[in-house]
Amino acid sequence: MFLAIKDITKIYQHKDGAVKALNNVTLQVSKGDFVTITGASGSGKTTLLLTLGGLIQPTAGSMHFEGRSINLKNDSDLAKHRKLHIGFVMQHFALVPYLTASENILLALNNSELNRQEQQLRSKELMHLVSLDHRQQHYPRQLSAGQQQRVAIARALANNPAMILADEPTGNLDPVLAMEIMDTLREVNRTYGATIIMVTHSTEAAAYGTRRLQMERGSVAYSDSQSESL
Amino acid sequence: MTLFDLVKKELWYRKSQLISGLLAITLGIAVIVAIRSISVVSEKAVAVKLDNLGANILVLPLTANIDDYYTADIDAPTFSEAAVGKIMSSTLPGIDNMSPKLSRRIKIGKELVVLTGILPKSEIASKPLWQKTGLSGKALKVSCAAPKEENKGSILKDDKLQRRSVDTLSDNHCLIGFSAAKRLNRNENESIVIENKSFLISKILPETGTVDDDRIFANLHLVQQLLGTGAQINSIEIMGCCNEISDGLLTKLRNVLPDTRITTIGQIVSTQIETNQMIKKMMYAFLLIILVVGGVSIGNFIWANVNERKKEIGILRLIGYGKKHIYQIMLAKSLILGLIGGVVGYFLGTLAALWLGPMVVGISVPAIPSLLLMSVTLSVAIALAGAVVPSWLAGKIEPFVNLQDQ
Ligand SMILES: Nc1ncnc2c1ncn2[C@@H]1O[C@H](COP(=O)(O)OP(=O)(O)OP(=O)(O)O)[C@@H](O)[C@H]1O
Ligand SMILES: [Mg+2]
């Protein structure tokens, strides 16, 4: 199995009392899946996504990635895991404001096997992929929302990740741009075979999924294409 | 795009923050360097002034009191000149200068004067033991042929006396105090008979207003012969270093010379010690203030920076940077601040000292290059110390919260 999590529970400790954001979630994802996750606000979608990305330490449970058990306690192992295998696309783009588009991509290539020159080439190639060849030296604030999100997608692809985790990637975009971004993601899924797990509130975006999940109060409710349309 | 590139770009992006952060540490270092530069010179100036105060330790015979030292009575007790050799061979640190003396009241014609035997510099320097201890050349300043006309204050009662010494004083020469010369009606280069021996007056000393004015100075060993005392003296005046005096130099001297009475000329010593200690205390007080203020302001700067950068830190974590890298980034940043602050602070402080020294303290201050190393080290240490806690907190930032909001 490409990705498998078992009995993941996440309890946030808060001064107003503990919040159980994930409740015994067990989930398996096959290579090449385009998984979309929908669900009410506060149902635990972001928590699940960030747990899959190793950014949140679950209170209990285990995770396997490409057959290997992931040590959820070791920060530098998790960081390395993210760098090599995972690309993130977030609602607010998560670009560093004082770096140009291509520098944002180069930041993700730092410490990779590529030398400086190869890193530059790779960054050019990625900017071309998202059709932003002429915007390489632009800062995020000089780019439109859609362009910023495409830079973020280019950066997510920098290290040829096996999996892309996206949290409401179209949440900040108008419907036309949103569909452009969704097309780009589908392309990434089809041409590069990257597994995509995407959280979204939009049914149009969710329709891009080859497999659709719904979350309810910290648990996953499976659903297929037929029941999804209900 | 290395981490260092990232740090540079971030520093540049938040220029105003960088400048205010730098200002705190740079000014702090500048103040330390300025104070240090000025105080090094003023310590030297003070040391020279203190030196001019003269001897601060007296070695007297066991049975003597201070009055004997000043009055030089006929029957004033004496002790063996061997004490001089004992002090020398003890090589106690902190003994700058010493001068053994034998004084007696004598009559020349009808006039009462005090005959004082002193050791000329050449004779002291020729003693092999003293050369071996290295004291004859540098430290042993049995000199001041021409009494200086400064420091006439009341506490400096024996000022001129202490420093009365000559380079050479051959057996048939003597020096005469101002009023003694007057009373005896003698001029320079005339001869005078003292205790049945004829001397040539090589110099009449300028008036000092002290007991010295009534003295005749001649070679100690000759005076011993004339008075028939044998190798006896009745005082050794010692110039001790202030720090060593407060460090128990007296006790050590007493151990070396158990058969003598060793006292300090209290006012002189306490003035010297107080002055030196005041300068030191001031330095430490400033240093402490600056360490605290500098450390806190750098810490505050990094902390504000961490807060402002929560989102960026979240982004870095997202794209594969571990806590370790976050620490590295924050520490690299404070290292840069520390380096710049240290170098700029050194030059600012030196300029300030060069400019303020003559104006405020009235002494010209040279640049002290070795302070550059100290200021860079200090500045980097302050910056790193101030950055440790905020950096650690930065590493703990959960990317989750920060990626949610714009
Ligand atoms: N740091 C935190 N401390 C305490 N509670 C938290 C924290 N983060 C999230 N929660 C709670 O955990 C639950 C799940 O939050 P999560 O953000 O995963 O939901 P979501 O499905 O992504 O919601 P949305 O659709 O609004 O983004 C919510 O009840 C939320 O209030
Ligand atoms: Mg969410």
pLDDT at residue B267 greater than cutoff 70:
no
Structure tokens at B369: 């290059």
Going by C-beta distance under 8 Å and a sequence separation of 6 or more, which residues neighbour residue B290?
Answer: B28, B29, B31, B32
Measured torsion, CA atoms of residues B238, B239, B243, B249, in degrees rounded to the nearest 10: -10
CB-based neighbours (< 5 A) of ligand 2, an ion:
A 46
Chain B touched by A44 (CB under 8 Å): no
pLDDT tens track for B370-403: 889 999 998 898 888 888 888 887 777 766 554 5
pLDDT tens track for A35-77: 999 999 999 999 999 999 988 889 999 999 998 998 888 888 8
Instruction: Let me know: does B59 contact B253? Beta carbons within 8 Å.
Output: yes
Q: Is B209 helix (H, G, I), strand (E, B) or coil?
A: coil
A79 and B398: CB-CB below 8 Å? no
> Residue A5 — left, alpha, or beta (φ > 0 → left; ψ -120 to 50 → alpha)?
beta
- Kindly tell me the burial class for residue B251, based on how many C-beta atoms sit within 10 Å of its own C-beta (0-12, 13-18, 19 or more): exposed
Going from the Cα of B351 to the center of ligand 2, the distance in angstroms, rounded, reads 57
Nearest residue to B134 (alpha-carbon basis) of B90, B91, B99: B91
Task: Report the distance separating Cα B229 and Cα B225, nearest Å.
Answer: 7
pTM of the model: 0.67
Give the A window 137-156 contacts with B, CB below 8 Å: 155
Q: Where are the domains of chain B?
A: 3-43+274-404, 57-264
CB atoms within 10 A of CB B106: 18
Query: Which of A43, A56, A168 should be mutated for ligand 1, with most atoms under 8 A from CB?
Result: A43
The residue among B95 and A137 whose pLDDT is bigger is A137
Q: In the structure, what pLDDT confidence band is assigned to residue B339 with cuts at 50, 70 and 90?
A: very high
ipTM of the predicted structure? 0.89
Q: Is B120 helix (H, G, I), strand (E, B) or coil?
A: coil
- Give exposure, A138-151, as e/b (b: 16+ Cβ within 10 Å): bbbeebeebbbbbb
pLDDT tens track for A132-159: 999 999 999 999 998 999 999 999 999 9
Going from the Cα of A167 to the center of ligand 2, the distance in angstroms, rounded, reads 7
Interface test with A, best of B13, B318, B325, B329 (most A CBs within 10 A): B318
The residue among B276 and B13 whose pLDDT is bigger is B13
Chain B touched by A84 (CB under 8 Å): yes
